[in-house]
Amino acid sequence: MRRKGSFAILLPVKPNRPLHILGISCYMHDAAACLIADGRVVAFAEEERFRREKHTGAFPEGAIRYCLEAGGIPIESVDHVGFYWVPWRGVLHRIVQSFHDFPRNCAPSAHRIRIFRDMIGVARLFRKRFGYRGAFHFVPHHHAHLASAFYPSGFPEAALLVIDANGEIATTTFARGEGTRIDVLRTVKYPHSLGILYLCVTEYLGFRESHGEGIVMGLAPYGRPRFLEDFREILHVTPKGELRLDISYFDAHLSKKHYVTEKFIRRFGPRRMPGGKIEPHHKDVAASLQAHTEEVGLSLVRVLHRLTGLSRLCMAGGVALNSVMNGRIAREGPFEEIYVQPAANDAGTALGAALYLHTVKLGHPRPPEPVSPPFWGPGFSEEEIERALRASGLPHERLPDLTEHAARSLAAGKIVAWFQGRMEAGPRALGNRSILADPRDPRMKEILNARIKKREAFRPFAPAILEAYLHDYFEAPAPSPYMLQVFPVRPEKRHLIPAVVHIDGTARVQSVNPRQNPRFHDLLSAFHRLTGVPVLLNTSFNRKGEPIVCTPEDAVRAFEGSGIDLLAIGDFLVRQRSGTGLGELRDQASHPSRSSSRREREGVT
């Protein structure tokens, strides 16, 4: 990998202590920080979890301070800092592009000027805010994505693919990783971008760009892909893997209020305003966009396979969060094994920037084993949890058999918030900051969407399944530990878990084994023993419009008055202020075969 884009003074590392590298990303969206020591992840978290502002791009001061605290080090012990973007790289390319758009774009937007200014000044701000005197590097954006995908995978060699809206110049990058080397083979340049296409159509459909793409993916199965040929004309892939986007349909790259042009609206129909009614043609546009995204993704991985001849694939970039596309690549693509970085979006470039510096810039070896599951966020002691519970005034007690009790409560139809261990990194709740429910209840999806999550009724929920039973329930070629691949549910099993089966018969699967998450595995095993079903409904533990909970105080606020029946936090069981007492709940949960009333199943006590 080329080593351009760094501005640093390489300082000698003091002997007899680990090499500490901090990676940061910010100013666009999904700001984050990551600390590694001798190439191993110590801490990694998104800034949104500390600011309580979903997808924030703000300077990640909270995440940085957490990383230093988790590492038990002062700022003086940080040897290198890596920033996920080279702000001056690609400026000439953007200026040339702006001439192509003249007079539609006579001046850059104030927002983009502010981002450029902030990125140029990030090293100065970091030094001033933290008193840092060490080396500060600017890492090319797609290089950070590549490093975040390859080095944690554990693969000795792999084909690498980054697909996002854009980096400094590139929107798609094909690469090959071997050992410590990453060699870029081919790139697609801005504005020709699958990510930009999806972002613009997301905004056209009335959802917030860079936030609502997953909602569009969930809406797609409700429509017909009758606009598929239109999207094939607007964005097509050449045999060499080059993308060609007809930019006359879009204003995302310009200083405009909306991201699509009148030409797009004439072709696809009226836009949906935020909060407005979803018309049939909106569903059809979503279905067509998603179908084309899957086609393009499959085309790109086939090109990459021809370029590399390798059997393993690593993916990153915002488009790599498209779990339906990932599932099709896993089932229909040419690669035998696939690793999708769990924080594949821009948050993951904080991890990637740190790993890039460690392995490429400084020439240190990769860790010999794959990076562990992404439980790298804050964890809390029993004392800290109990202090938060006492302050809340919520009824609670410590239970030596909490896992068994939670399983019995779930089997009895209760909705349980599950707060355990260190917080997950990435956008998916993987069993440490989750809301859990019984997937056997066909009304559970409606109950959760309307009363707990307070979101669109069409949005699906994910199943968490014991890995040993994965192939019994899903047409999955391999485990899916990060909930980033969608697979068909086997027809003979769909009636057993209706709450997690989407309208098209698929589900976004999380497979769980005892090595990755022992306590969550124990809970699933206990539920399986009680019900014969090795699956739980798993969704993120958060209030509407907020990120996943981070601290016990966040958990208490999200739980209180939410309609969730129980909160299992550490070894404590917490209930709402009014309703059935804990003793009576235990009595009900001890008879999982007993039919729950409608009020119980809906979380009304």
Q: Per the domain annotation, does 353 fall within a domain?
A: yes
| Amino acid 92: pLDDT | 72
Percent of the chain exceeding pLDDT 90 equals 86
Per-residue model confidence (pLDDT) at position 253: 56
Q: Is 599 a residue whose pLDDT tops 60? A: no
Same domain, 470 and 416: yes
Sequence-distant (≥ 6) Cβ neighbours of residue 118 within 8 angstroms: 26, 27, 59, 125
The count of domains in the chain is 3
**pLDDT beyond 50 at 593:** no
Q: Does 565 share its domain with 460?
A: yes
**pLDDT tens readout for residues 376-413:** 999 999 999 999 999 999 999 999 999 999 999 999 99
119: pLDDT confidence band, cut at 50, 70 and 90? very high
Tell me, yes or no, whether 361 and 327 share the same domain: no
257 — pLDDT class (breaks 50, 70, 90): low
User: Is 354 found in the same domain as 333?
Assistant: no
Residues 6+ apart with CB under 8 A from 384: 552
Q: Is the pLDDT of residue 12 over 60?
A: no
Residue 258 confidence class, pLDDT cut points 50, 70, 90: confident
First and final C-alpha spacing in the chain: 59
Give the DSSP letter string of 543-582: -TTSPPP-SHHHHHHHHTTSS--EEEETTEEEE-SSSS-H
Within its chain, how far is the Cα of 112 from the centroid?
Answer: 25
308 and 213 in a common domain? yes
Please state, in angstroms and rounded to a whole number, the distance separating the CA atoms of residues 257 and 280. 25
Cβ neighbours for 482, distance < 8 A, ≥ 6 positions apart: 340, 342, 373, 374, 426, 428, 430, 510
Q: Answer whether residue 556 shows pLDDT above 70.
A: yes
Q: Say if 92 falls within a structural domain.
A: yes
Q: Is 239 exposed, middle or buried (0-12, 13-18, 19+ CB in 10 A)?
A: exposed
- The confidence score (pLDDT) of residue 251 equals 83
Beta strands per DSSP E along 66-223: 80-83, 135-138, 157-163, 170-178, 181-189
Whether 81 and 108 map to the same domain: the answer is yes
Residue 535: phi and psi, rounded to 5, are -130, 140
pLDDT at 447: 96
Residue range 199-210: mean pLDDT, rounded: 95
Nearest-angstrom CA–CA distance, 594 and 497: 18
Beta-carbon count within 10 A of 375 CB: 19
DSSP code for 37: E
Query: Within a domain: residue 179?
Result: no
Long-range own/partner contacts, residues 189-192 (CB < 8 A, 24 or more apart): 189/93, 190/90, 190/93, 190/94, 190/97, 190/166, 190/253, 191/97, 191/166, 191/245, 191/247, 191/250, 191/253, 192/235, 192/242, 192/243, 192/244, 192/245
pLDDT for residue 90: 78
Residue with tokens 């399944």: 465
* Per-residue model confidence (pLDDT) at position 506: 98
Q: Are 41 and 369 in contact (CB under 8 A)?
A: no
Cα 158–Cα 163–Cα 167 angle in degrees, nearest 5: 115
Tokens of 179: 């050992």
R_g (Cα) of the chain, nearest Å: 24
Alpha helix segments (H runs only) across 369-413: 382-392, 402-411
Q: Clarify whether residues 505 and 389 are in a common domain.
A: yes
Q: What's the mean pLDDT when you consider all of the chain?
A: 91
Whether 167 is covered by a domain: the verdict is no
**CA 556/CA 394 separation, integer angstroms:** 8
Beta bridge partners of 466: 512
251 and 360 housed in the same domain: no
Tell me whether residue 189 is in a domain: no
CATH number of the domain that 356 lies in? 3.30.420.40
Question: What pLDDT, on the 0 to 100 scale, is given for residue 11?
Answer: 44
Q: Which residue has the higher pLDDT, 473 or 6?
A: 473
- What pLDDT does residue 136 have? 98
pLDDT of the residue at 14: 53
pLDDT value for 32: 98
Q: Minimal CA–CA distance to 394: which of 549, 565, 520?
A: 565
More confident residue, 58 or 251: 58
Phi, psi of 122 (to 5 degrees): -65, -35
pLDDT band at 111 (very low <50, low <70, confident <90, very high): confident
Query: pLDDT-derived band of residue 582, with 50, 70 and 90 as boundaries?
Result: very low
One domain, residues 332 and 402: no
pLDDT tens across 336-354, in order?
A: 999 999 999 999 999 999 9
Residues 358 and 246 in one domain: no
Torsion (CA) 444, 450, 453, 454 in degrees, nearest 10 = 170
Active-site residue flag, 29: yes
The residue among 104 and 460 whose pLDDT is bigger is: 460
pLDDT at 367: 80
pLDDT digits (tens, 9 = 90+) for 143-157: 999 999 999 999 999
Distances (CA, A) of 445 to 26, 457, 463, 549: 35, 8, 12, 21
Contact 81, 21 (CB under 8 A): yes
pLDDT at res. 95:
64
Q: Does some domain include residue 324?
A: yes
| Domain annotation covers residue 222 | yes
Burial environment of residue 450 by CB neighbours within 10 A (0 to 12, 13 to 18, 19 or more): middle
| Contact (CB, 8 A) for 187 and 169 | yes
The string over 528-544, giving b where at least 16 C-beta atoms fall within 10 Å of a residue's C-beta and e elsewhere, is bebbebbbbbbbbbbbe
Q: What is the pTM of this model?
A: 0.92
Q: For 465-469, what is the mean pLDDT? A: 98
Which pLDDT does position 16 carry in this prediction? 78
pLDDT tens per residue across span 82-101: 999 999 997 776 666 655 55
Range(s) of the domain holding residue 304: 194-340
Per-residue pLDDT tens for 497-508? Answer: 999 999 999 999
Residue 123 has pLDDT above 60, yes or no: yes
- Give me the mean pLDDT over the 104-126 stretch: 83
pLDDT band (50, 70, 90) for residue 591: very low
Taking phi first (over 0 means left), then psi (-120 to 50 degrees means alpha), and beta for anything else, what does residue 428 get? beta
Which range is most confident: 2-16, 79-93, 535-549? 535-549
Q: Are residues 350 and 330 in the same domain?
A: no
Helices and strands, number each (H, E), in the chain: 21, 21
> What pLDDT, in 10s, does the model give residues 230-245?
999 999 999 999 999 9
The domain spanning residue 455 has which CATH number? Answer: 3.90.870.20
Sort strands 80-83 and 20-25 into parallel, antiparallel or unpaired: parallel
Nearest to 440 by CA among 593, 218, 219, 586: 593
Q: Which of 384, 412, 414 is nearest to 569 (CA)?
A: 384
Domain assignment of residue 453, yes or no: yes
Q: Which of 29, 80, 141, 396 is catalytic?
A: 29
Task: Kindly state whether residues 469 and 569 are assigned to the same domain.
Answer: yes
pLDDT classification of 595: cutoffs 50, 70, 90? very low
